[in-house]
Amino acid sequence: MAIISNCTASIIKDAAFALKQGHLVAFPTETVYGLGADATNEKAVARIYEVKGRPKDHPLIVHISSIELLDKWATEIPDYAIKLARNFWPGPMTLILPRTGLARDFITGGQDNVGIRVPANNFALALLKTFESEGGYGIAAPSANKFGALSPTNAQAVQDELENDLLPSDLILDGGCCEVGIESTIIDCTSDKPEILRPGAVTLNMVENIFNIKRSEESYMSAHMRNSRKVLAPGMLISHYAPKARVYLGQTPIIGQGMIAIDHIKTPLGVVRLAAPKNDLEFAKTLYEALRSGDRQGLKEICVIPPNKGTLKEAIFDRLNKSASSL
């Protein structure tokens, strides 16, 4: 497996060909790096699960290059889902929809619905378009990390996570650092109203705005605030997105601990400052790499003070809450 830094059109073509041959290709998206396989190739998809050490019933997101390809994978698409797609694709949003026959059990974990996303990253879109022009239908790609670990936001982090498990014929495309830094918003579109299953950079507020509704309307509430859900999104497992170090939320760090907080919060003496982002956007973008650097430095404990304002506040808190959980 090699990291390929200079992603020219001919490299992208080779990568699309590798996918068609059943190899794995890790690639950048605007959220995090994905570990891609041909979404119609059962053997290739099985390797994703092996490499990640991921349970088989955890469904994968299928990436496509445009909304035009949506009905290959999804059926009974409600109007509101089309509206979401038109407003937020390409972008950090995954829609869960009833599946067509193309979305087999090995993609959906046996569920009758499928997760679809059009990423907003030029390398990802070029790879998808080339792959589709060679007869492919979509690229299945979970985050390119070991199950339960932090998602990688640069190519080196993919290599550090997966180098022992990828084969020489697999590829890692280096497209620099991911712009958003945390995973896509997942929206369940299998009932009469959209429900946010995982918060991300497409926020509840943004969703409400396109439908001209108010925050108080219960039906649009984030599902993670509710008790019951029909659709399973295993990324909602309590312990997830976790570094090796223990993560403490909102505590003032003490000597020897790592610290991540907005830049105006001072670093106490003897504390290792891992990141000092200026705002919530920069916080999301640098968070996972900062936690990884804590692990590289051998820190046992990292205190993170999440931002208390900004559009990404909720998504950052959601991930950190899972990082901090010891379950």
Q: Which residues bind ligand TXA (CB under 6 A)?
A: 29, 31-32, 34, 58-61, 94, 96, 108, 111, 113-115, 117, 119, 141-143, 183-184, 186, 231-235
Report, in this order, helix, strand and coil percent for the chain, each rounded to 5. Answer: 35, 20, 50
Pick the closer one to ligand TXA by CB: 125 or 141: 141
> Which of Mg ion, ligand TXA, none does residue 166 bind to, with CB < 5 to 8 Å depending on kind?
none
Q: Are 88 and 59 in contact (CB under 8 A)?
A: no
Q: Are 226 and 275 in contact (CB under 8 A)?
A: no
Kindly indicate which of the ranges 104-112, 143-151, 220-228, 257-265 contains the residues binding Mg ion, using the contact rule CB under 5 A. 143-151
Cα–Cα distance for residue pair 221/296, rounded to 1 Å: 38
Please report how close the Cβ of residue 324 comes to ligand TXA at its closest, in angstroms: 18
Q: How are strands ordered across the β-sheet holding 272-275?
A: 246-249, 301-304, 258-260, 272-275
Of the candidates 148, 150, 139, 102, the residue with the CA atom closest to the CA atom of residue 292 = 150
Please report how close the Cβ of residue 5 comes to ligand TXA at its closest, in angstroms: 19
Please report how close the Cβ of residue 256 comes to ligand TXA at its closest, in angstroms: 32
Pick the closer one to Mg ion by CB: 53 or 256: 53
Pick the closer one to ligand TXA by CB: 230 or 300: 230
Please report how close the Cβ of residue 108 comes to ligand TXA at its closest, in angstroms: 5
Pick the closer one to Mg ion by CB: 143 or 153: 143
Residue 176 tokens read as: 């620099």
Pick the closer one to ligand TXA by CB: 25 or 276: 25
Terminal-residue alpha carbon distance, the chain? 33
Query: Residues 165-184: x/- map of binding to Mg ion (CB under 5 A)?
Result: --------------------
> Which of Mg ion, ligand TXA, none does residue 81 bind to, with CB < 5 to 8 Å depending on kind?
none
Backbone conformation region of residue 301, classed left if phi is above 0, alpha if psi is from -120 to 50, else beta: beta
Q: Does 31 bind Mg ion (CB under 5 A)?
A: no
Cα–Cα distance for residue pair 266/216, rounded to 1 Å: 37
Please report how close the Cβ of residue 143 comes to Mg ion at its closest, in angstroms: 3
Q: How many residues sit in the footprint of Mg ion (CB under 5 A)?
A: 1
Pick the closer one to Mg ion by CB: 162 or 303: 162
Kindly indicate which of the ranges 92-100, 139-147, 195-203, 216-224 contains the residues binding Mg ion, using the contact rule CB under 5 A. 139-147
Backbone dihedral angles phi then psi of residue 131, each to the nearest 5 degrees: -60, -45
Pick the closer one to ligand TXA by CB: 141 or 276: 141
Which residue's entry shows tokens 């650097």? Answer: 293
DSSP characters for 298-326? T-SEEEE---SSSTTHHHHHHHHHHHH--
Residue showing the smallest CB distance to Mg ion in the complex: 143
Please report how close the Cβ of residue 135 comes to ligand TXA at its closest, in angstroms: 22
The CB-side HSE value for 155 (13 A sphere, CA atoms) comes to 18
- Pick the binder of Mg ion from 121, 143, 153, 293 (CB under 5 A): 143
Cα–Cα distance for residue pair 16/134, rounded to 1 Å: 8
Please report how close the Cβ of residue 183 comes to Mg ion at its closest, in angstroms: 6
Contact footprint for Mg ion (CB under 5 A) = 143
